[in-house]
Amino acid sequence: MAIRVWSSLFLCVLALLGSVSYASKSQSKEFVVTLDHSNFSDFVGRHKFIVVEFYAPWCGHCKKLAPEYEKAAQVLSQNDPPVILAKVDANEEQNKILASEFDIKGFPAIKILRYGGSVVQDYKGPREADGIVSYVKKQSGPASAEIKSSEDANAVINANKIIIVGVFPEFSGEKFENFTAVAERLRSDYDFAHTSDAKLLPRGDSSVSGPIVRLLKPFDELFVDTQEFDVDALAKLIEEASIPTVTVFNKDPDNHPFVIKFFNSQNAKAMLFVNFNNDLIDTFKYKYHEVAEQYKGNGISFLIGDVEASQGAFQYFGLKEDQVPLIMIQTTDGEKYLKPNVEPDHIASWVKEFKDGKVKPFKKSEPIPEVNSEPVKVVVADSFQDMVFNSGKNVLIEFYAPWCGHCKQLAPILDEVAVLFEKDADVMIAKIDATANDIPKGTFEVQGYPTLYFKSASGKISLHEGDRTKEGIIEFIQKNRDKAAEQDSRKEEL
């Protein structure tokens, strides 16, 4: 199964560094609990809080996580009360129903299960042992921390993070219960606290006695006060207020959580890439912020990215540095609109033209190769129709990214498979750089790299979800292909 596309992008652009500080002990005992289809429901049902990793044995990221996850499990087993980390081999045929129930679309996928599995949340913490321990301890504790003193406030409130604090004269009643319900719902994304003394909090009116919710943030207006206590309305307000007018994408790790929120947003995404050492950078930022303010709440999120920090994004989108300063908008249906070498004063007019429907979508395609004689044939956007849909062949096609480690591991295997089918005129093994070529919409759902699809000669589309071994791929082809005799029979019937 492929890794989610946006997750793949972040693996390329964010380096999450961490050191493991735990002394090594005998590893004869495994502290990570192994679950499968036969014991999963019963085991999870007996626990108020449990963390479960869904993995695949062939997944490189899973192999890298495994020792860190085990070290964290060992430490958390000594917690009071102990916290359990578990794992499920989602590649095992009998466990695939479990993976489907939890909407597992990439590996490793880590879920937090609360109250016997009745509440499921995505794990959004670090992937190294000490970070896992810290994050899980926080997630297993109260959803909202009480602030009783200035020392508590200093320990909870970080000037570089978002924190939501409820101010209440007493910690009871419907409003406090609703605040706690929102904290429980959003705890994997935000830090929550509550206090009876607003004087302990930075920013805002220190004389308020509540009930009031104060959202502290490191950008824009720095704090937002609200007396909205409807659970759904308060949750929505927090989500909206926690997105910067313009998200900054640079090498500052404090900005990374906001970058992730930007890419996970359901909005269209406007991205301005510019060299932050440019003499006009302040003008670019000012003009871009003006545009973002104008369209805030109209279905577009805005990001400004430093070219040096955005190399992963450039590789993912197939952009070139000689196009910088560059503004791109990607709509929710995947269409891209591009304005290379943009000037600060042209940003507003170009975004307006986009909103008015006057900008044509950008079609991205590499040149059609003049020579295409290797066993694995190269497909580009401009040749996709002819080579895949109109060839009359059974086509196995790999959607890959040049920077993808799993794709590099798969390449020699695909070569071997292609050589085996070279003399079979009915089968073609092909590949397309999905970062440099647009993919036909509505037919192939590429959520990560590498993704393998098979188009039979009769037009049936199948996604390869099995082992990416030579034997596994050959079996997949033979199972889904149309034989020549079958094709001739269909032609006669027509």
Judging by beta carbons within 10 Å of its beta carbon (0-12, 13-18, 19+), is residue 120 exposed, middle or buried? middle
Which of helix, strand or coil describes residue 18?
coil
The CA distance from 408 to 113, in Å, is 35
- Amino acid identity at 414: L
How is residue 135 annotated by DSSP? H
Q: Which two tokens stand for residue 118?
A: 């009745």
Q: What does the alpha-carbon distance between residue 351 and residue 327 come to, in Å, rounded to a whole number?
A: 9
State yes or no: is 12 an active-site residue: no
Rg of the chain over all Cα atoms, to the nearest angstrom? 26
Of the listed 182, 407, 428, 430, which one is catalytic?
407
Q: Are β-strands 427-433 and 394-400 bridged in parallel, bridged antiparallel, or unpaired?
A: parallel
Q: Which of 208, 213, 206, 210 is nearest to 228 (CA)?
A: 213
Residues 6+ apart with CB under 8 A from 411: none
Burial track 183-209 (b if 16+ CB lie within 10 A, e otherwise): bbbbbebbbbbbbbebebbeebeeeee
Instruction: Give the Cα separation of 316 and 302 in Å (integer).
Output: 18
62 as an active site residue: the answer is: yes
Tokens of 273: 């890439």
Rounded Cα gap, residues 110 and 86, in angstroms: 10
**Cα dihedral value 113, 115, 120, 126, nearest 10:** -40
Cβ 336 vs Cβ 328: under 8 Å: yes
Please pick, among 2, 13, 56, 62, the residue that the annotation labels catalytic: 62
CB 95 within 8 Å of CB 34:
no
Handedness of CA 17, 23, 29, 32 (dihedral sign): negative
**How far apart are alpha carbons 67 and 79 in whole angstroms?**
19
Distance between CA atoms of 390 and 323, rounded to whole angstroms? 34
Cβ contacts of 91 within 8 Å, gap of 6 or more: 1, 55, 56, 57, 58, 467
| Catalytic residue chosen out of the listed positions 2, 50, 51, 59 | 59
**Separation of alpha carbons 108 and 67, rounded Å:** 13
What is d(CA 434, CA 365) in angstroms, rounded to the nearest whole number? 10
Which phi-psi region, left, alpha or beta, contains residue 444 (left: φ > 0; alpha: ψ -120 to 50)?
beta
Look up 59 and say whether it is catalytic. yes
Query: Which residues are annotated as catalytic?
Result: 59, 62, 404, 407
